[in-house]
Amino acid sequence: MSADRTGPCLPRPRGSLSDGVIGHLRGDGPLPDPEAALTAEPYGDDLQLALYVCYEMHYRGFEGVAAELEWDPPLLAVRAALERRFLGALRRDAAPDAGLDDIVGALLTEPVRGEGLSWFLQERGELRHLREYAKQRSLYHLKEADPHAWVLPRLGGRAKAGMAAIEYDEFGAGRADRVHARLYAGLMNDLGLDTAYGRYLDLGHAPMLALVNLMSLTGLHRRLRGVLVGHFAAVEITSSPASRRLAHAMARAGAGPAAEFFYTEHVEADAVHEQVVRREVIGGLLEEDPGLEAEIAFGITATSFLEDRLGDRMLSDWRAGRS
């Protein structure tokens, strides 16, 4: 088997599950028993890192790890057990309590001023806060839109066309210098951070790992395409106002022009995407398969649940004076 030379380094384990998965990829240890996932904390560091590492084999892999292990049957069996534990907890804890129209309507309503992570960063964020926030978000933004691309073969008609139009924008509309992942690398450079893909995985909070894992999980499973569309809707509908606040935060802290531009670009682009995702992607998918309405609603509520967990974690750390 040929070892990958271009991916990031494997992270440090955070428990027995991640230790077993990472050891298996290194070739120097046994995989954990899939049954061990049944009693693991579903949102904890160990399970979320183990699942993230499994999924990363479908993106760029890891330095020194054989590419053939992407489809290694024993590894996939462990991944399936981790997925069942994570998804089962989300279906329990983030179940929709309203219909899809009401849930989408709530996304369109701005939160109370001063509440949430983007409000904190706009009004009180210092460069140290922005750097820590950027490190966490780099786990997604340096692969921005990649997990969503997996849903395209699972859609048809208006939903496929709408999703492809948004993805085209995310990937720079044919211009490499406008690819959003590259724009985020510019933001990180302005903030004095390492722009290497996967560089800050060891610092990733469990809530941030869980957010990226939700995208990978729902992107890789055709049966979860409705959940992926719901997740995507939650991101696009809330992105424009949040990006406006983050652009203000970058400007106020003097982060730099590329840091500010990453978010000003999203203010305009995602205002358009919000309309497309509601009318064409959601509308088109429900026209084709009305039975997916509850799954789309769940994708939205699961995303909001995990975003709130990340915000609570970071704000509680900062308010307590912790990095």
pLDDT at 1: 61
> How large is the angle between the packed helices 225-253 and 157-170, nearest 10 degrees?
30
CB 216: neighbour CB atoms within 10 A? Answer: 22
pLDDT at 5: 67
pLDDT at 270: 72
User: Which string of b and e fits 15-42 if b means at least 16 CB within 10 Å?
Assistant: bebbbbbbbbbeeeeebbebebbeebeb
In DSSP notation, 18-86 reads HHHHHHHHHTSSPPPPGGGGGGS-TTSHHHHHHHHHHHHTTTT--TTSBGGGGG-HHHHHHHHHHHHHH
The 10s digit of each residue's pLDDT in 84-102 is 999 999 999 999 999 999 9
The 10s digit of each residue's pLDDT in 260-273 is 999 999 987 777 88
pLDDT at 2: 59
Give dist(CA 267, CA 285) in Å, integer. 26
What class has domain 100-319? Answer: mainly alpha
Chain centroid offset of residue 179 CA: 17
- Backbone φ and ψ for 17, nearest 5 degrees, come out as -65, -50
Residue 144 falls in which region: left (phi positive, over 0), alpha (psi -120 to 50) or beta: beta
Chain centroid offset of residue 146 CA: 10
Mean pLDDT, consecutive 10-residue segments, the chain of 323 residues? 77 98 95 97 98 98 97 98 98 98 89 80 96 98 97 97 96 96 98 98 98 98 98 93 96 98 88 90 97 98 97 95 86
The 10s digit of each residue's pLDDT in 278-308 is 999 999 999 999 999 999 999 999 999 999 9
pLDDT at 268: 79
Name the pTM for this structure: 0.96
Hey, where are the domains in the chain?
Answer: 16-93, 100-319
pLDDT at 77: 98
